[in-house]
């Protein structure tokens, strides 16, 4: 299986990209969460100039964050700096929107956005709509400004249901998911994508790229001999994923209680404690300002008790060398092409651990 890394945009990110390339990793992604992290297009511009081989990904952008012309301009500009190395993840903006106190966009809008990006980044005209006004648009001056000749790989974020996987099938894109380590769930996503592709005639003039790979974002902690799999080190390495799920459950408990109801009693209690600890409630209109600070950052020691073993095992890879290889093999057999880790404790060391494990 291939290996990559996902990080937050911040000064010095290009140094991590260089190290990832030196370690032989296949891709380097930057989050697009505007009110929490820095700008991914700025960060990846630095990475593009500092590297020569590694794939560079936006993980992920959304029509709820950026217009199609603006996003396409950023992607094609990156493609001019790193020809053929750009990967664009697209999604409904679930987390990025919720950090604003807003809801994500719809699958239909996501699909229109994906179509527009695929067309524009291939130098083709596309239909662009704002309210009742509709126009065909295209890059008016490419050449040295942007690169629409080399292909950009597109992947659709599929998190909580089959709609996004169906978009990926119709648009012949790949898939990316966060913390989805259940092989059966991946089989279901791939079945949905395949059926959607089979039911949608291929447009010979469309630009959908040649790759339709699947990526899973997780964290990894290789246990030392006799190390507690649920000790402080393991909780620190995986806690950002667990707290992100708890924050989502806390944020959506009132509007979509079905998700929280899928959690076990201990996990629902952890959601309640998180709300209390952050000084907010599931119905407070400003709860997003209390739940999402330091999102996907290293957790505070006093929050380690919220990192439940059940959620660690669900969202992250913790175990011995043989344990981890066995789990990764099952994911590969389920059709996952690349394992992406999101390191927070010691990114260079965690990237080296990943490279050693998979080489």
The predicted pLDDT at position 206 comes to 59
The predicted pLDDT at position 256 comes to 81
Neighbours of 331 (CB within 10 A): 21
Q: Which residue has the tokens 């996503």?
A: 189
Strand runs labelled E in 122-173: 126-130, 133-137, 153-157
Using only C-alpha atoms, the chain has a radius of gyration, in whole angstroms, of: 20
What would the pLDDT profile of 108-152 be if each residue is shown by its tens digit? 999 999 999 999 999 999 999 998 999 999 999 877 899 999 999
Average pLDDT of every residue of the chain? 94
Instruction: Look at residue 308 and give its three-state secondary structure.
Output: coil
The predicted pLDDT at position 161 comes to 74
Give the number of C-alpha atoms closer than 13 A to the C-alpha of residue 7, restricted to the C-beta side: 28
Instruction: Look at residue 289 and give its three-state secondary structure.
Output: helix
Rounded average pLDDT over 255-281 = 93
Give the span between the Cα atoms of 264 and 315, in whole angstroms: 15
Closest CA to 42 of 15, 14, 64: 14
Give the span between the Cα atoms of 280 and 296, in whole angstroms: 19
The predicted pLDDT at position 160 comes to 61
Question: pTM above the 0.85 mark?
Answer: yes
DSSP 136-174: EE--SS-TTS---SS--EEEEE--SSSHHHHHHHHHT-E
């Amino acid at each position: 299986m291939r290996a990559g890394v996902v990080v937050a945009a911040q000064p010095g990110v290009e140094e991590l990209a260089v190290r990832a390339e030196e370690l032989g990793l296949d891709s380097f992604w930057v989050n697009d969460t505007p009110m929490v992290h820095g700008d991914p297009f700025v960060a990846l511009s630095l990475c593009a100039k500092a590297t020569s081989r590694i794939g560079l990904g936006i993980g992920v952008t959304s029509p709820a964050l950026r217009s199609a012309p603006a996003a396409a301009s950023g992607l094609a500009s990156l493609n001019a700096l790193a020809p053929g190395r750009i990967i664009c993840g697209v999604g409904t903006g679930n987390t990025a929107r919720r950090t604003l106190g807003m809801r994500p966009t719809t699958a239909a809008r996501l699909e229109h956005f994906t179509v527009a990006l695929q067309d524009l980044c291939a130098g083709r005209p596309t239909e662009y709509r704002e309210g009742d006004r509709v126009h065909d648009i295209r890059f008016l001056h490419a050449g040295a400004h942007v690169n629409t000749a080399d292909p950009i790989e597109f992947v659709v974020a599929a998190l909580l249901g089959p709609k996004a996987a169906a978009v990926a099938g119709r648009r012949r894109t790949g898939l990316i998911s966060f913390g989805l380590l259940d092989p059966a769930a991946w089989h279901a996503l791939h079945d949905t994508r395949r059926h959607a592709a089979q039911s949608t005639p291929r447009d010979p003039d469309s630009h959908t790229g040649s790759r339709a790979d699947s990526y899973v974002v997780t964290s990894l902690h290789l246990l030392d001999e006799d190390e507690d799999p649920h000790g402080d080190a393991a909780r620190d390495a995986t806690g950002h994923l667990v707290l992100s799920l708890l924050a989502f459950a806390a944020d959506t408990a009132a509007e979509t209680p079905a998700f929280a109801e899928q959690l076990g009693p201990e996990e629902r209690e952890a959601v309640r404690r998180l709300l209390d600890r952050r000084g907010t409630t599931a119905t407070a209109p400003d709860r997003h300002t209390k739940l999402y600070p330091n999102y996907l950052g290293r957790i505070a020691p006093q929050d380690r008790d919220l990192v439940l073993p059940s959620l660690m095992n669900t969202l992250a890879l913790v175990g011995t060398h043989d344990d981890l290889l066995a789990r990764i093999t099952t994911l590969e057999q389920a059709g996952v092409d690349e394992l992406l880790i999101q390191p927070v404790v010691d990114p260079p060391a965690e990237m080296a651990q990943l490279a050693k494990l998979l080489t």
